Amino acid sequence: MIEILLATYNGERFLPEQIESITSQSFKDYYILASDDNSSDCTFEILRSYESVLGEKIKVVQSNTHSAKENFYNLLDMADAEYIALCDQDDFWESDKLEKSLKAIQRLEKRYGKEMPILVHSDLEIVDENLNSQNKKMSELTGINEAIKYAKKESKYLYTISTEKSFSRYLVENNITGNTVIINKALLDIYKRPEVSFMHDWWLGLIAFTFGKVGYLNECLVKYRQHESNELGANNPLELRNIKRRNKQRIRENYDCMFAQVEEFLRLYKDELGKSRSADTYFARKYLNAFANMKSKNRVSKIRDILKYSFFKSSKILTIGEMLNI
């Protein structure tokens, strides 16, 4: 059974098409848990209408978090299934998305054991609001291609990302897109809800890298719909128009949030980090502590640590910007 966690807010425009893409999946043993964050449009009514159609295949609850990540945390708090898939309201799933995601995570469970916390994510295709291809993939805009260079190839499209080689980069740049994620019960069992975090997918990635395995499917299993409400989500940060619109204060706030996220992780998982003897946890603990300790250092010392621990972003330009702003 795969439990699909669907977080919604004012999504009436695209939500029906997303739900239809779920009901058209080749893998049918799924259950949708949908949480609507006090929408002011007809989103909640749309969800309730699907309850009458899908019956026990969907359950709808209401939330009042005023935050997409907190809405997903609410869903994770309620989740209880062997496998958990995250779902955004305005995307479109390829018909074999669940089937391929499940086969990938089960392949890693067979190799590393079902007791191993595992997260698998995939690439996605960027489309316009009418689902027309923009001839772009999300992997072209993130650092995932760098991570693949050091990854273990499990099959034609599936990779296990190396904690030792890739975790330091992950602390400063998230390359896990939450709307493609599937996790197993072992990861859900050690998930702890943070008081402070950047985003829910980044947080789940920290858990998986530290205590388990992160798998990547180098296939586009989701169509990421780019529209006025999420347009920045799939833009190239190196394009001139995006460089010009950057807010320096917001950039500094983002780095402050990265530090706070790591400090929260170290606080919540202090006991687990101390008890674990796995090599991945050893490397993760090393990088987590080094990153957290940077916060109080001066600019020169921060730059030294960035170089020493390879806290690099996906391009040299972005890394230079990191050195100037962190």
pLDDT value at residue 244:
45
pTM over 0.75: yes
More confident call, 207 vs 252: 207
State the Cα–Cα distance between residues 45 and 47, nearest whole angstrom.
Answer: 5
Cβ atoms of residues 1 and 27 within 8 Å: no
Confidence of residue 232 (pLDDT cuts 50, 70, 90): very low
Q: Is the pLDDT of residue 233 over 60?
A: no
Q: Is the pLDDT of residue 133 over 60?
A: yes
Question: What average pLDDT score do residues 275-289 get?
Answer: 95
Cβ atoms of residues 295 and 171 within 8 Å: no
Confidence of residue 11 (pLDDT cuts 50, 70, 90): very high
Q: Is the pLDDT of residue 280 over 50?
A: yes
> Closest by alpha carbon to 42, among 89, 92, 78, 93?
89
CA distances from residue 274 to 223, 267, 278, 286 in whole angstroms, order as listed: 41, 12, 11, 12
pLDDT, tens digit, 9 for 90 and up, residues 164-183: 999 999 999 999 999 999 99
pLDDT, tens digit, 9 for 90 and up, residues 285-297: 999 999 999 999 9
Complete domains list, the chain, with CATH = 2-232 (3.90.550.10), 237-325 (no CATH)
Q: What H or E segment, with its residue span, contains residue 208?
A: helix 200-211
pLDDT value at residue 234:
55
pLDDT, tens digit, 9 for 90 and up, residues 87-113: 999 999 999 999 999 999 999 999 999
Confidence of residue 203 (pLDDT cuts 50, 70, 90): very high
Burial of residue 261 (CB within 10 Å: 0-12, 13-18, 19+) is buried
Confidence of residue 246 (pLDDT cuts 50, 70, 90): low
Annotate 70-127 with DSSP letters as a single string.
HHHHHHHHH--SSEEEEE-TT-EE-TTHHHHHHHHHHHHHHHH-TTS-EEEEEEEEEE
pLDDT value at residue 239:
43
- Average pLDDT over the chain reads 93
Lowest mean pLDDT among 195-199, 248-252, 313-317: 248-252
Q: List the helix and strand counts (H, then E) for the chain.
A: 14, 11
pLDDT value at residue 230:
61
Q: Is the pLDDT of residue 214 over 90?
A: yes
State the Cα–Cα distance between residues 18 and 8, nearest whole angstrom.
Answer: 11
